[in-house]
Amino acid sequence: MLASCLFAEKRAMISLSNNYILFNDKDYQNTYGYGSYFPELRFSYFLDDNLLIWSGLGLVSNDGNTPVLQLKSSSHQYFISLGGGYVISLYEYVDFISRLGLIWVYYDENVLNLSESGDSLGIRLDVSLQLAITDMLFIEISCGYLTASDKINNKEIDIGGFKTGIDFGIKL
């Protein structure tokens, strides 16, 4: 209710998330590590006081050395997310938000003169606590899980993983 009051006249949010994601795929971990930063630009639109729809554009980019040959390799994952959410106001300046959506991910990996790429669909679930700083600015602490999978060169790969992050956003 309070949120509704606070955002009675605010219908949209734009935030920049700075996430840290822990990868599911073991081979990926061997070359690029267990996790990395995952920045994301996210846009949300309130349908009413509690429901919203949202979309996000995120990027995971890593460089690494192959474990044996110690060759330099690089990998990129581009995430586009779309889904809906539900907002529960806990306190006057604190809201709990849960989001569920689909993700489309484009990925590639380059080593030596070898390059592989592909894309896949997956799902995503996020929960967060949003703290209002002013009428327009807020901070949101979130965690979530996103996953997709694909098969390339007869090899099953996992994309995504558990993530946590902090968003800085503005309400419009």
Partner 1 sequence: MKHKFCKQFFPIFLISLAFITNTCSIINSAEKKHIKGTLQKGRPANNIRQAGGPDCNGYTYIDSSEAGGPFYDFEDISLTGNEVVLSDDDVSPACPVGFNYFFYGKYYSNIYICSNGFITVDSSQDFSESWYNTPLPMPYEPFALIAGLWVDLNPEVGGNIHYQTLGTSPNRRFIVQFTNIEHYYNGNPVTFQIKIYESTGSIEVHYLSAPTDASYRTVGIEDLEGQCGLEYYYGTASLTTPLAVRFDPPAREINIREGSVSIPDGDTYNFGDQPVGSNTLKTFTIENLGISSNLALTGIPFITIDGPDSAEFNIDLQPTSPILPGDSKNFIVRYSPTSPDIKWATLHVENNDSDENPYEINLTSGGTPDIFLYQDYWEYLNNDDYYTPDTPVGSQTDIIFELCNVGDIDLSISNIIISGDGFSLISNPDSIIPPGNCSFFTIRWRPIDEYAVFGSISIISNDPYDNPFYLNLLGITAIFPKVKIINPKNNEIVKGTTNIEAIITEDWMLIIGKMEFFIDGKLVFSTKKQPYIYPWDTTSYSFGYHKIEAFAHDELDQIGSDSIWVKVDNPPEVTIVEPLENSIVFGMVDIKVTANDDEKIAKTDLFIDGFLKYSSNETSFTYSWDTSLVQNEMHIINAKAFDPAGQMGTDEVIVTLAKVNIFLNASRHTEKLWLNTIDYARIDFTIENKYNLPISKILILRKSLGSEYSPIKELLPSDLANNSYTYFDYNIAINTVYIYQIMALDASGKIVGLSNEKTLEKD
Chain contacts with partner 1 (rule: CB under 8 A): 25, 27-28, 30-32, 66-69, 71, 73, 75, 107-109, 111-112, 114-118, 152-153, 155, 157
Name the minimum Å distance from CB 68 to partner 1: 5
Name the minimum Å distance from CB 60 to partner 1: 12
Residue found under tokens 């890593």: 62
Helical H segments across 40-80, by residue range:
none
Name the minimum Å distance from CB 109 to partner 1: 4
- What is the C-alpha separation between 53 and 10, in angstroms, rounded? 14
- Reading the block at residue 89, the tokens are 């106001």
Query: Which residue, 132 or 157, has its beta carbon nearer to partner 1?
Result: 157
Name the minimum Å distance from CB 70 to partner 1: 9
Query: Which residue, 18 or 117, has its beta carbon nearer to partner 1?
Result: 117
Query: Which residue, 5 or 72, has its beta carbon nearer to partner 1?
Result: 72
Helical H segments across the chain, by residue range:
2-6, 26-32
17 touches 167 (CB < 8 A): yes
Name the minimum Å distance from CB 125 to partner 1: 24
- What is the C-alpha separation between 160 and 120, in angstroms, rounded? 11
Sequence-ordered strand ranges (E) for the chain: 12-23, 35-46, 51-65, 72-89, 94-111, 114-132, 137-152, 155-171
- Reading the block at residue 4, the tokens are 């509704």
